[in-house]
Structure 1
Amino acid sequence: MNTTTPAGATPRIVTVLVAAMGGEGGGVLADWLISAATACGFPVQSTSVPGVAQRTGATNYYVEIYPVPAEQLGNARPVFSLTPNPGDVDIVAASELVEAGRMLQGGFVHPRRTTLAASTHREYAVVEKSAMGDGRYDGQRVIDAATELAQRSFLFDMRALAWRNGTVINTVMFGAMAGSGAIPFSRETCEQAIRASGKAVEASLKGFAAGFNHVTGVAAVVGAAPPAATTSPAAAPVHPRIAALPEPLRHLLGHGLRQVADYQDARYGDLYMQRVESVLALEQPFGGDLPVTRETARYLALWMSYEDVVRVADLKTRGERLQRVRNEVGARGNEPLRLTEYLKPGLDEVCSLLPPTASAWLRKRLAHKAHKLNVGLHMRTDTVFGFAMLCGLRSLRVMRRASARYAIEQQMIDRWLDTVRRAIAMSPRLAYEIALCGNLVKGYGETSERGHRNLGAVLDDMQAALAAPHPGAASIDQAAARVRAAREAALSDPEGRTLARALGLPAPAARTHPIHIVRRKPAR
């Protein structure tokens, strides 16, 4: 341990707090600590507190170890605590950056006592992923706080290190804890605890060694990095139309063109390029780094590759996706993998695939019982039938251009692009703000409908400003500020009330959500 005890003084209980999420082996890590303490003859106690089910459920594991063999204590026994106390923890280990932030917020990390070992990767919380804008938490704030509040901190991407060694993150955490010297066990004792567990011993020892060596600064031999999910831009051939673009746009539009063509076909990619080039031709005379074209290209690629049932089925049946799942769960090449997909298609998903006339008729006919049509499906794609079902949905891509959803999206895209092009002639700054409004439309179902409504309201509001024959600089600046305020309001409030206030519109009526009482089925 790094903490020394004065001669003749009673040794202090070593307190260990582990913050992990479901499926990351936090319980196994606590068992290893107990096994190592038992092997040394140290009295030990462990408790766990399950957390709220965010990001598969965060759990605290608390272990107290008295670093004196029980045989030397005679009849005396230490008194352990069931829960950690703020400022009274020797080592805190966190399997993810915001989990480390949770420990910092709880006051468990003390600058004169606590060693912090945490992974810097992110598993985004529901509130981050469901935000209408960029809801990601600034991880650098946690890193800065950890550096300031911990006596010693070891912060690195433990998940990547675990993947490179074909193991789970808890093994790397255990190695980092042992390498820090904050737990009263030798490396050999920790490795023996892993062997005694009998669970994926060789892979666990590799992960332990990787974490230990990273913290101690010893060079380690690690496995190969996981295969890249996509082809490197440098290795991919450059499309002739991309090569003809100005340098600041080539990288972004190269990604956009590949995504759109992959979503549908090469002809759809040509449509993407035509739309971007129409904006570029109007902005190029103004010079600069072409911000309007850049942001238009960014959000146009995302919008044109909108999410639908066909896209979901396509992505779920790709070989690289299946291989990524195998890598994440640590399945070897000859091991069978049972994979269950959770789907919940509803009336909106079905109608969006139909032609516009048939879609409108079906929506009107079944609107009164749409809630009954949201059926949860558990589809096993490791079976021939389940995989064939998804492949059948994927094959509907050839019919996408005839679907109602396609017609709605393309109509709104054309309206947005027309407003951007008209605004460029007046002011590139105003056009830039309107181009950023492409971020309002995303997702599917109610989320997509809300985005369409919000964008439509912003574009309607701009018609008067764009129709002015000779607007002055002040009125242009005012219009740009108004668009920016409206966009930020739309992204901050899913109910649309903030946007209505920003545009001077009546507040939207509160939406009713019926409560359906379902008779409970008797247990079998």
Structure 2
Amino acid sequence: MTSWTEGRRPITIAILAMGGEGGGVLADWIVAVGQGAGFFAQTTSVAGVAQRTGATVYYVELYPAGEGGGVRAEPVLSLFPTPGEVDVVIASELMEAGRAVQRGFTTPDRTTLIASTNRVYSMDEKLALGDGRVDSAGLLDAARLGSKRLVAADFNALARQAGSVISASLFGALAGCGVVPVERSRFEDAIRAAGKGVEASLRAFAAGYDAAQEPVPTPAPAPAPGPGAVPITLLTRRPVDPEEAAAQSEEQRRREVAESDPESLVGPALRGRVQRVVADFPASARDMLLQGIVRTAVYQDTAYTDRYLDRVARVVPLDPEDAAGLVTETARHAALWMTYQDTIHVAHQKIRRRRLAGVRAEAGAEDDTQLVDVKEYLHPQVEEITDTLPTALGRRLAASKGFAKVVGKVTRDGIVVNTTGIVGYSMLWTMAHGRPLRPRSLRFGREQEAIDAWLDHAVRLGATDPALAREVVECQRVLKGYGATHEHGRESFALLMEAVDAFTGSDDDAARLARLRTAALADEDGATLRAALGQRAVAAVRSVG
């Protein structure tokens, strides 16, 4: 008799996948393969927190069949993965691979880690005030060091190429890495037995199988960052994600057209502005300026575009060849600030045809044969309402406790607007067409005054230090969000400008301001920035706005 504990153990497989990626289907396929090959097989799952804050962990154990000992005819298999005891970890996204390493599921002495190199950004990355993305190269290095063998590729792209989902290409990678001692045909039979999307799944399976035979991707060398820039490292491998390649190709094409025939990128109403861009601005800033003139025209009108160009033109004499990137960054950040999010702009974005078409595509609705309801869950605040009103009225209502009480009572539970319904769409359409009223609104006047003061700082400093002027321009990055978040951003911005005024003209002023801006983006309430500045004159910021 052979006892369960004599020299044999199950093959343990942990799958970390997010909703809609077919993690449960992948686990079922693995069980089917194991049972077909004579293994005892068991699968369980532990759901993660909503959406991208945590993936579901599917756990599979495959125990080789044989004659049991003692009083039991079957082994007792575990319900959960045990750190240090997992043979295979399958991660549907690179951050999930990093989580597996962090949680101890992968170990250098045992684990084969199959990781897709695509990224779905976590909530922490999205909520960061600055560039909160985790370095992909660092995640890949951690995965390599934390596992016995790393099988890494963009399995999501491979699945899309095949018209399938990532679970199929990951299943192919599991077969290709050879950890489960079962011939390839049994894996393919499991897909056929499922009976859904068989041909597409088999194509994705084959692509994943082949990818498991290829070398692990290596980080591409990152370009040297400019002052205050955040380095971003991309992963390179073959085959290339076709959507990413298309986007890069389109970006390159647009840049080439911007150099050779910029007028073809805009409508007739902006042709004269394009001619001004070509004549009055350095070539290196042309692409950014073209985007800026389109953005400001769509946001308001062509007169607003002229105002945008006038503002950017102020810094051209300070950096005529754009050697310090001052003109390009002013073009970028002036366009962003001038097109701040207000209720008019939000309504316009909600009813855009491209947005509604994207929702239909994401829901998988068939054209003209299926109805899709799009409901917006809104929670307007007093400031968002008063900021859109004419200046005098908005200021009066903003100071009214009675008005605040009424708004709070009406919007306490939020408001649901059906964008695809007649009433909801009409409401948003009416609000979106309030652009002629925007220049007389409370917030518009406040923002324009602040923008001009910001550029005054840059122009004054740029006369002697264009690099410092660029850092002043990039301080616009701290102005984000709405409500309390935006208010904290304004306070941090005011502290940064106050700090600049105290600079004494040393050679490292630009680097000092870049460090302070990084501190301002470290948290929402500005605590890190205040700690970096000390306690001097913090109260002065309360007078802003």
> How high is the TM-score relative to the length of structure 1?
0.82
**Unpaired stretches in structure 2, ≥5 consecutive residues:** 1-5, 215-237, 263-273
Tell me, yes or no, if the aligned pair for 2:285 and 2:322 is still in contact at 8 Å.
Answer: no
For the aligned residue pairs, the C-alpha RMSD in angstroms reads 3.5
Q: Secondary structure at the match of 1:47?
A: strand
1:47-58 → structure 2 map (5 Å cutoff): 47-53=44-50, 55=52, 57-58=54-55
Give the equivalent residue in structure 1 for 2:376: 341
Q: Secondary structure at the match of 1:18?
A: strand
Deviations 1:458-517 (A, max 9, x none): 32444465xxxxxxxx643465465344423322243334434506435569x9xxxxxx
Give the equivalent residue in structure 2 for 1:308: 342
Give the equivalent residue in structure 2 for 1:262: 298
With over 3 angstroms needed to count, the CA separation of the structure-2 counterparts of 1:224 and 1:143, relative to structure 1, is: closer
Give, in whole Å, the separation in 2 of the partners of 1:265 and 1:166: 42
Q: Structure 1 residue runs of 4+, over 6 Å off?
A: 220-224
Letter in 1 for 2:432: R
Give the equivalent residue in structure 2 for 1:240: 275
Give, in whole Å, the separation in 2 of the partners of 1:351 and 1:69: 75
Give, in whole Å, the separation in 2 of the partners of 1:339 and 1:60: 31
Give the equivalent residue in structure 1 for 2:185: 188
Deviations 1:305-345 (A, max 9, x none): 22223333333333333343344444444652444333322
Identity among equivalent positions (%) equals 42
2:330 is aligned with 1:296: yes
Question: Please, which of 486, 489, 499 is the counterpart of residue 451 of structure 1?
Answer: 489
Q: CA deviation at 1:15?
A: 1.0
Give the equivalent residue in structure 2 for 1:397: 435
Give, in whole Å, the separation in 2 of the partners of 1:290 and 1:26: 49
Q: Secondary structure at the match of 2:387?
A: helix
Q: Secondary structure at the match of 2:347?
A: helix
Tell me, yes or no, if the aligned pair for 2:489 and 2:524 is still in contact at 8 Å.
Answer: no
Give the equivalent residue in structure 2 for 1:414: 452
Give, in whole Å, the separation in 2 of the partners of 1:167 and 1:386: 36
**Unpaired stretches in structure 1, ≥5 consecutive residues:** 1-8, 466-473, 512-524
2:128 is aligned with 1:128: no
Give, in whole Å, the separation in 2 of the partners of 1:173 and 1:382: 38
2:184 is aligned with 1:150: no
2:469 is aligned with 1:431: yes
2:394 is aligned with 1:359: yes
Give, in whole Å, the separation in 1 of the partners of 2:240 and 2:517: 47
Q: CA deviation at 1:138?
A: 1.3
Tell me, yes or no, if the aligned pair for 2:282 and 2:322 is still in contact at 8 Å.
Answer: no
Give the equivalent residue in structure 2 for 1:3: none
Give the equivalent residue in structure 2 for 1:167: 164
1:187-206 → structure 2 map (5 Å cutoff): 187-206=184-203
2:143 is aligned with 1:141: no
Q: Secondary structure at the match of 2:480?
A: coil
With over 3 angstroms needed to count, the CA separation of the structure-2 counterparts of 1:308 and 1:184, relative to structure 1, is: farther
Tell me, yes or no, if the aligned pair for 1:40 and 1:69 is still in contact at 8 Å.
Answer: no
2:82 is aligned with 1:85: yes
Question: Please, which of 290, 313, 320 is the counterpart of residue 277 of structure 1?
Answer: 313
Q: Secondary structure at the match of 2:158?
A: helix
Give, in whole Å, the separation in 1 of the partners of 2:433 and 2:39: 62
Give, in whole Å, the separation in 2 of the partners of 1:156 and 1:369: 55
Tell me, yes or no, if the aligned pair for 1:430 and 1:477 is still in contact at 8 Å.
Answer: no
Deviations 1:366-397 (A, max 9, x none): 23465433442344444444444433332223
Q: CA deviation at 1:109?
A: 1.8
Give, in whole Å, the separation in 1 of the partners of 2:168 and 2:94: 17
> How high is the TM-score relative to the length of structure 2?
0.79
